[in-house]
Amino acid sequence: MVSVPGFLLRRLYVKGSLKNDAGGFEFQLVNSLGAGYAHKVWPLKLDGKEIPAERSYFILDGKETPFSAVSEESAFTLAMNKAITVWSDGVALAQGPHTVEMGFDVPGLGSVRFDFTDEVADG
């Protein structure tokens, strides 16, 4: 299987988009690497602590999709050059830097993972 380095996947993250939102935190991804889809989304990790998959969502065009709903029968697609919000319920971020890790199971590539570190944006 082909391996995708984390430094390339890190480019999915929109720098400066990490912020607190109603009841949780969110950040943006924009795929400029190539169209793809996932059969599984691994639970987010925030500063090394896992957040249950059923408490994290993709928001695209107003539709929320929980990470736990992604499967071979219901794949998640990350279209080219389209912004998507990742939102996690029930976790508020303190000021300062935070590291977020995420990963996907992608057909033909296997499990791909990346992380990013950013400060919480105001507003």
CB-CB contact of 14 with 31 (8 Å):
no
Host domain of residue 14: 6-117
**Alpha-carbon span 109 to 113, nearest angstrom:** 11
Residue 94: inside a domain? yes
Domain count, the chain: 1
**Alpha-carbon span 5 to 10, nearest angstrom:** 9
Residue 70: inside a domain? yes
Residue 105: inside a domain? yes
Residue 23: inside a domain? yes
CB-CB contact of 91 with 117 (8 Å):
no
Per-residue model confidence as pLDDT tens digits over 106-117: 888 888 899 999
Residue 40: inside a domain? yes
Residue 60 β-bridge partners: 63
* Predicted local distance difference test score (pLDDT) of residue 123: 56
Residue 1: inside a domain? no
Please give the distance of CA 10 from its chain centroid, rounded to a whole number: 10
CB-CB contact of 114 with 106 (8 Å):
no
> Is the model's pTM score more than 0.85?
yes
Residue 123: inside a domain? no
Q: Domain containing 77 — which CATH number?
A: 2.60.40
At 71, the amino acid letter reads: S
Per-residue model confidence as pLDDT tens digits over 30-57: 988 777 788 999 999 999 999 999 999 9
Residue 122: inside a domain? no
